Chains A and B, each alone.
Chain A
């Protein structure tokens, strides 16, 4: 693996850890961070978050990362998992990741 990928993965890891912190501290999900798998569904099944959490998450994404999500947040595929949220954060940050945009 070249250094660009290593650097990208490390950067992504930092974002994921921040997101996990939000889930635990702001949304009061009672789980250790390492048990919050990045592809786990946040809403409905999975962590079972609800509409109030969605609002908190939108606020936290703005406050922590400056990522502004519009209306219809529930519909957005990026809101489904931590990986989706990480994609949003990385896409919003100026430097593009190794692989270009995440799908």
Chain B
């Protein structure tokens, strides 16, 4: 253990899945190995106005909600309940598999079990974090509830950040995964973008195009040695994860594949393994021309010579593209491949496309093959990539010395100013053309982020682009874009849905745009814990930065373009976006005129009901004498928890205190704490 950081290997001790191949994990693996294709004509809604009619839907007979959904699928409430039902099923299966279900079902204390929920769910009836809240309440999990939303890489990222929660000892057990539903809106959006296969998704083969699917899946993660004490099996090991952003385009991957490369390289580096020893790559392989070409280039860049020999398959020919749930379903398949010594085939593979993997495991039968180490990777709209490394043998967390983290710049933009500013005044590299499709959330986040960078005198150029990340807390897509999306459906109808409006309603659209405009290509994610989102982003960014030597800095913050007005309090002006620049203390650049120079001396996250535990994690040996507390009281909106942070930074810089503890709690989500220390203390 290194100062509140565990180096014990992280075991996968449970798995649950609902997919187009069936209502549990056994059905998933049996289907994959039998060469079953879960892609059929879509039954749940009418596709007659579209040029494509196929999808990979969960068989409705298995579900309660499905029957109710027929007839009025456009109601978001029903989509949410279907999503919750899928998630609940998979979650219960995972808990049973890990021999935790009896404990949970008995309503015993479960605050030590965190839920990390990934979903791309776009249009919402309520702030996104309340979905995980509802799911956890229904199943009976009282621990941290953290929601990740990076479109099609959501659940992969959720698994990765689940690993982080274990490593930072914020939870004894993490259930991480996600769920997504195939809705007419998502179908219409992908159709508008022209990326749907006319028939069935055929990764790396012809015809190009993806087939949308849906599902849910969860993995149970915990430190080595814990599960066997209750009779559960350590099935495989989550050895590492890596995140990145293409910083290229809203819906198209960087054709050079450098974003995919960075996520895989980061995951391999985190796991501390040699790419030459990899036995299998479970590719995103969505089947689209743009993805498959770019992804293979990225895999090649990351694996070097090993890429030419390693089997690379995609299970989307069988499962379709389950969106935010794709990653966890693929992680489960990858783990089962390892356990059974069988590599899943790439279904529907006929003629290879040029410049694809030489060994895509084409066919409809699995290949017997011993797999000790595997990578599973996913890519998403907004350029958010995530990769995880799964190993057969325990891999201790590859922990270097905890680096010193500094907070070097703050940037904010008030909601009232959104209309009045131009992001170009913050960063001269931004051209008017690049702002064409930017919604207010994207602009606000970009300005706050650019201000934080500028305050610190941090120039994101050259190699540093890939070593600088962005973690954003957000509870909903831009209301302006949501309105435009709804208006587009109302005026054009779903078959002629506006592709650009669709691209903006994914929750990570603003973060993707900000990363693109400011060249932040390092680790990237969008998360929510409600009003605590901003502080949570800082906590997870600090943790990410502290133990990896392949990055220099992360901008962390929150955006909420129409934040709720607060009655009273110190903040008459409500901020639409607030960002902080965290830098690892190696080769730090010059401090700008407005820059601050504070140590982030501790951080923690805990269940909402155990806020003191977050403080204990932030200051394991107790708070230093003279610590002033800055507490987030009741205010709502994604930025709310960052207002006390701004106050704390101001007080430290003014010399009013030497240490400042910033805390925030959102009932039903989580509690976060960050300890800041003035330089020289």
Q: In their complex, do chains A and B touch, with some C-beta pair under 8 Å? A: yes
Which B232-271 residues sit within 8 Å CB-CB of chain A? 249-252
A5-13, A14-22, A46-54: which lies at the interface: A46-54
B436 touches A63 (CB 8 A): no
Task: Output the least CB separation between B555 and chain A (Å).
Answer: 26
CA distance A75 to B498 in the complex (A): 21
B192 touches A55 (CB 8 A): yes
CA distance A71 to B191 in the complex (A): 12
Chain A hits for B194, CB < 8 A: 51, 55, 71
Chain B hits for A78, CB < 8 A: none
A26-34, A35-43, A90-98: which lies at the interface: A26-34
Quick check: is B464 within 8 A (CB to CB) of the other chain?
Answer: no
Chain A hits for B503, CB < 8 A: 52
Quick check: is B36 within 8 A (CB to CB) of the other chain?
Answer: no
B492 touches A56 (CB 8 A): no
Count B-side interface residues using an 8 Å CB cutoff. Answer: 18
A51 touches B437 (CB 8 A): no
A55 touches B499 (CB 8 A): yes
Taking A51-B193, A52-B500, A56-B498 as contacts, is the C-beta distance between A30 and B251 under 8 angstroms?
no
Task: Output the least CB separation between B490 and chain A (Å).
Answer: 13
Measured CB to CB, the nearest residue on chain A to B436 is A28
A52 touches B496 (CB 8 A): no
Chain B hits for A27, CB < 8 A: 436
Quick check: is B433 within 8 A (CB to CB) of the other chain?
Answer: yes
Task: Output the least CB separation between A16 and chain B (Å).
Answer: 21
> A51 touches which one: B252, B433, B496 (CB < 8 A)?
B252
> B499 touches which one: A28, A30, A56 (CB < 8 A)?
A56
Measured CB to CB, the nearest residue on chain A to B499 is A55
Quick check: is A59 within 8 A (CB to CB) of the other chain?
Answer: yes
Taking A27-B436, A28-B437, A50-B249 as contacts, is the C-beta distance between A55 and B492 under 8 angstroms?
no
> B193 touches which one: A28, A29, A48, A55 (CB < 8 A)?
A55
Measured CB to CB, the nearest residue on chain A to B198 is A71
Taking A59-B492, A59-B498 as contacts, is the C-beta distance between A52 and B437 under 8 angstroms?
yes
Task: Output the least CB separation between B425 and chain A (Å).
Answer: 16
Q: What 0/1 readout, one digit per residue, does chain A (57-69) give for beta carbons within 8 Å of chain B?
A: 0010011000000
Task: Output the least CB separation between A59 and chain B (Å).
Answer: 5
Taking A52-B251, A56-B500 as contacts, is the C-beta distance between A30 and B432 under 8 angstroms?
yes
Chain B hits for A52, CB < 8 A: 193, 250-251, 437, 499-500, 503
Apart from the given pairs A28-B436, A51-B251, A52-B250, 19 other A-B contacts in the complex at a CB distance below 8 Å: A29-B436, A30-B433, A30-B436, A48-B433, A50-B249, A52-B193, A52-B251, A52-B437, A52-B500, A52-B503, A53-B500, A55-B500, A56-B498, A56-B500, A59-B492, A59-B498, A62-B496, A63-B492, A63-B496
- Residue positions of A touching B, CB distance < 8 A: 27-30, 48, 50-53, 55-56, 59, 62-63, 71
- List 24 contacting pairs A-B, 8 Å CB cutoff, sorted by A: A27-B436, A28-B437, A29-B436, A30-B432, A30-B436, A50-B252, A51-B194, A51-B251, A51-B252, A52-B193, A52-B250, A52-B251, A52-B499, A52-B500, A53-B500, A55-B192, A55-B194, A55-B499, A55-B500, A56-B499, A59-B496, A59-B498, A63-B492, A63-B496
What 7 A-B pairs come out closest when comparing CB atoms? A55-B499, A28-B436, A59-B496, A52-B500, A52-B499, A30-B432, A48-B433
